[in-house]
Structure 1
Amino acid sequence: MLVKTNWDNIMNKLYIFSPGFGLRNISPFCLKMEMALTYLTIDFELIELNDPRKAPKAKLPYMELNGETLSDSEIMFEQLNAITDGKLYNGLTAEQKAIGTAFSRLAEDHLYWLLVASRWLEDDWFPHVDAAFFAPMPIPLRWIIPSIARKQVRKTLQLHGLGAHSREEMKAFARRDLQAISDAIGSKPFLLGNEISAFDFTVGSMLSGILDNKPDTWLSPIAREIDHLVDYTERVQQTIGVYGRIDP
């Protein structure tokens, strides 16, 4: 996919996961980067990479921007803001940036891992993970790697702390996270006010990954029950013209 804008003559490349779970961008971190680049009208090409171990930090997304390789979406955001003379965070006060940063941390360092748990730890949902991530692998790796990867994710969640909790306890964590986001939005169209900001890309992408999963995980109906979240997520995607789901 090529997004045509009018930046410079160097073709920038954003490396993302292949589609899955009814999503074009299987990772909220990939989706938020696509939103940011589109918002900034920077030319870029989307390149699917099935094996994140081939990425510089063994995770996706990563990108080649003006000939420089960047990993981690937060680092990419900071670089994008620098090379566009502050356009990514244009007009935000110090207080708004503080609030946006706090909700980005909530979304990416807590809510995200609840999304991972809802996909990877549930026996009735893991076959969708298996098909999305491991189907292209040759035999016998196709038989071996999914189990190894699932054990690694389970271990990571244990180290994070969330993996020690029951599903019902994780649901309660999720409700509090999602309610906090809803309360922060309130009657505003976006997280920080009337105008969309880079922090909406982070929060909106995470919510898209939760709401637009096909089929639902246990996290999806919880998000739909919370006021504002469905409308807010749709508004963010519609405003930028970039959607997480395959059929917008």
Structure 2
Amino acid sequence: MNQSTLTLHVFPTDDGFFNLSPFCCKAEILLQMAGQTYRLDFPQDHKVFPKGKLPVLTDGETQVEDSEGIRNYLESTKGANFTAKLSEAEQATGRALCSMLEERSYRALVYSRWVEDDGWSRTRPIFFEGLPDEVADGFRAVMSAEYLGSSAARQTPEEIKASLAADLRALAALLGNTPYFFGEEPSFIDATAFGFIANFYAAPEQTWARDMVAEHANLTAYFARSFARWYPVAAAKMGLSAA
């Protein structure tokens, strides 16, 4: 394993558990796949970074923002290869799949947590335990404004759920019976896919999205397998294994 002094700045999460931001989760898995030693940092104010969002990777004096930027940095400077066993067609399909998750499925995640009142009632005590209402409500307002500024805001709740259901069917179809997307070993596709599947299926706030994932046995098995691989301590506490 390559030794390094990398620091990954992410949103706070329980020790050893996947991050409740799929983008932060993706970045951490990419670091693991790249064989890098790193530490996690939970900044009090992520707005201090130029783009005002997380994840951010620091490597000495170098600062890399955005999960895809982190992927490119690991490939260009650390010798990581996240596509080694993928054909060109599989890489292209994977790129399209990741875009679907990060641009469309993500809107359903935001809606279910931050916009919908029932989802917010579940999210508030988990994300903002012990914090005053003005902090929680302020963050909700920011996330809701992001959602309302997107094309997804023109959809009805039923359309949002139908869209996510279609995305999950696509994921299940492409995964099939293989351990990871397109093979026996994970690639960049899995770093993205796991972050979303985990947050829809196993995040503590438990919205309606969990039942949608649960309809696909291969996706729930994929979650258990991947969770045990990348978060073994937390997975063991839940009785999950990589087998």
Taking structure 2 as the reference length, the TM-score comes to: 0.87
Identical residues among aligned pairs (%) = 25
Give the number of equivalent residue pairs: 237
Aligned to 1:179: 169
Instruction: Show the counterpart of 1:159.
Output: 149
Letter in 1 for 2:212: I
CA distance in 2, matches of 1:24, 1:227: 21
* Residue equivalent to 1:191: 181
Contact 2:17 2:231 in 1 (8 A): no
Question: Does the aligned pair in 2 maintain the 1:212–1:244 contact within 8 Å?
Answer: no
2:7 aligned counterpart, secondary structure: strand
Contact (CA 8 Å) 2:126, 2:204: kept in 1 or not?
no
What residue number does 2:224 align with?
A: 234
Pick one of 99, 113, 116 that aligns with 1:119: 113
Structure 2: any 5+ residue segments left out of the alignment?
239-243
Trace 1:1-248 onto structure 2 (pairs within 5 A).
Answer: 6-8=1-3, 10-19=4-13, 24-135=18-129, 137=131, 142-241=132-231, 247-248=237-238
Change (3 A) 1:244 1:160: farther
SS at match of 2:23: helix
Secondary structure of the residue aligned to 2:118 is: coil
Amino acid at match of 1:7: N
The 8 Å contact of residues 227 and 235 in structure 2, kept in 1 or not, is answered as no
- Structure 1 residues 148 and 48, CA gap change in structure 2 (3 angstroms): closer
User: Separation in 2 of the partners of 1:215 and 1:114?
Assistant: 14
- Partners of 2:55 and 2:66 within 8 A in 1: yes
Q: How many Å separate the matches in 2 of 1:246 and 1:160? A: 39
Whole-angstrom CA distance in 1 between matches of 2:17 and 2:136:
20
Instruction: Say whether the 8 Å CA contact 1:162–1:170 is kept in structure 2.
Output: yes
Normalising to structure 1: TM-score of the pair? 0.85
Structure with more helix by fraction:
2
Partners of 1:243 and 1:160 lie apart in 2 by: 38
CA separation of 1:243 and 1:160: change in aligned 2, threshold 3 A = farther
Q: Which runs of 5+ in 1 are unaligned?
A: 1-5
What amino acid is aligned across from residue 35 of structure 2 in structure 1? T
Is the contact made by 2:11 and 2:54 (CA closer than 8 Å) also made in structure 1? Answer: yes
What is the aligned-residue RMSD (CA, Å)? 2.4
Cα separation, 1, equivalents of 2:166 and 2:234: 24
Structure 2 SS opposite 1:11: strand
The answer on whether the counterparts of 1:25 and 1:244 sit within 8 Å (CA) in structure 2 is no
Deviation at 1:90, TM superposition (A): 2.0
* Alignment partners' CA distance in 1, 2:83 and 2:91: 8
Cα distance, 1:30 vs structure 2:
1.2
Q: Residue 149 of structure 2 aligns to a residue in which SS?
A: helix
Deviations 1:76-117 (A, max 9, x none): 101111123352322322212101111111111111110111
Provide closer, same or farther for how the CA distance between residues 164 and 150 of structure 1 changes in structure 2, counting only shifts above 3 A.
farther
Larger CA deviation: 81-90 vs 220-229: 81-90
CA distance in structure 2 between the partners assigned to 1:151 and 1:117 by the alignment: 12
8 A contact 2:98–2:192 mirrored in 1:
yes
